[in-house]
Structure 1
Amino acid sequence: MPGPKDLDPSSSPRALLGAELRHAREKTGLSQEELGQRLFVSGTFISQLEAETRRMQPEYARVLDEVLGTEDFFRRNCSAVAKSRYPEHFAEAAEAEAVATEIRQYAPTLIPGLLQTPAYARAVNRAYEPTAPEETISERTEARMARTRLLGDPTKPLLWAVIDEAALRRKTGGRAVMAEALHRIVDLAGQSRVIVQVLTFDAGAHTSMEGSLKLMDFEDAPPLVYFEGVGTGRLEDDPATVTRMRFTFELLTAPALSPQKSLALVQALAQDYAHEEHP
């Protein structure tokens, strides 16, 4: 099994903290599990801090400085990591998403963020915050579009999305916006950048009727699962939970249309929206 990769401290504040945490931990002779016990967290959590997939919180930074004898290094630098352009409940998940090698997602009510167009994202953000200033909506939309640039890499992350038919038929932003949004999904799939399956209404009851889920795998850190609700979000690294959610996703793919049939449906819906807009 390969050892941990050498992190680039110049790449981001989080990378700096991860590299310094690993260095300080190894210098004191503590394993990840032993250090986790001092913080009342798992060794997996320490691994994720070192690998940049989890954000260091101020309460952990204070204990790390005490346990590792780093004076106030982690406390001083923790604030730089805390700054984010994303809503607080989603910030840590977005940052983990940026370094994931594989993402598997079930989207029950809207097109996944990584697949959205600017117009669709703007319509979603405006619906979320109907009284927000236009500047706020523009900032939220730009942040979401920044996430989509992950798909500019020709090989990673792998994105496998199961999209509920409801998300494709809800006219978010109007027919023209929906036509553009669905054409983008078709284009990305045609470039072999994403795998998309549609869970049609005919599939009936399924394993994730309680809500959305997103599974993320990493090169050298344990996997995570992200649960999201209205204005809330939670990252979970418990191995049993991740395993159960992975099985849930696999069960979702079974009744969903094949990728080929899914794209045919998405393309047909896109054409319908375009035709309705320009009869």
Structure 2
Amino acid sequence: MELKNFEPMLVLGLLQTESYAREVNVIGRETDPETVDQRVSARMTRQEVLHRKPSPLRMHAILSEASVRTEVGGPDVLREQLDHLVTLSRLPNVTIQVLRFEAGAHLADSSGFALLSFERDEPPLGYIETLAGELFLESSRDLARLSAAYDNLRTLAMSPAESIRFIKELSKHGT
């Protein structure tokens, strides 16, 4: 299975630390601590797909520069999150690229999205999260649009090696 994901504002859930996930889950919500704990626990459990044996999820993530600079929970939480991205990038099944502000306008300037491909004969799936809810896309036309947008972003983003150097610098010197 392969997941391609673009996130414009926050680090995506599969790559979040527990501290970062906790902070994300309280943004703009009046949520009791037990519900937050359940959400964070579920998110941490979902991350096991990156480490499962024998076939971990192959993930290619494009993070906007905003997502790796935006403080969520303060500078220490962000620094921990950036260091975690560096650690995850060492996994053979995880590729991380950063889309710098200098890349300019692109095809996905309004929202993040994901493309999921399966091993068997199952059709691929597109996913877009909005304030109004989630959209699941299955038509070949919609998936072709998402794939084209993703390919455009991959071309505009820094290489994986450059991206990790950039993230290390942000972690070391602050955002």
- Matched residue of 2:156: which SS? coil
Identify which of structures 1 and 2 has the higher relative contact order when contacts are C-alpha pairs closer than 8 Å and 6+ apart: 2
1:102–1:156 contact (8 Å) kept in structure 2? no
Query: Within 1, Cα distance between the matches of 2:81 and 2:63?
Result: 13
> Where does the alignment leave 5 or more consecutive residues of structure 2 unmatched?
none
- Matched residue of 2:25: which SS? helix
> Where does the alignment leave 5 or more consecutive residues of structure 1 unmatched?
1-100
1:132 is matched with which residue?
31
- Matched residue of 2:128: which SS? strand
Deviation at 1:234, TM superposition (A): 1.2
Query: Within 2, Cα distance between the matches of 1:152 and 1:128?
Result: 31
More strand by share: 2
Give the TM-score normalised by the residue count of structure 2. 0.94
2:146 is matched with which residue?
245
Q: CA RMSD in A?
A: 1.3
Query: Do the aligned partners of residues 270 and 231 (structure 1) sit closer, same or farther apart at CA in structure 2, a change above 3 Å counting?
Result: farther
1:159 is matched with which residue?
59
Deviation at 1:272, TM superposition (A): 2.1
User: CA-to-partner distance for each residue in 1:78-107, whole Å, 9 max, x for gaps?
Assistant: xxxxxxxxxxxxxxxxxxxxxxx0000000
Identity, in percent, stands at 32
More helix by share: 1
Aligned length: 173
Instruction: Give the counterpart of 1:268 among 159, 169, 174.
Output: 169
Matches within 5 A, 1:152-191: 152-153=51-52, 155-191=55-91
Give the TM-score normalised by the residue count of structure 1. 0.60
1:165–1:198 contact (8 Å) kept in structure 2? yes
Query: Within 1, Cα distance between the matches of 2:145 and 2:155?
Result: 16
When Rg is computed on C-alpha atoms for both structures, the one with the higher figure is 1
- Counterpart residue type for residue 246 of structure 1: S
Query: Within 1, Cα distance between the matches of 2:85 and 2:39?
Result: 21
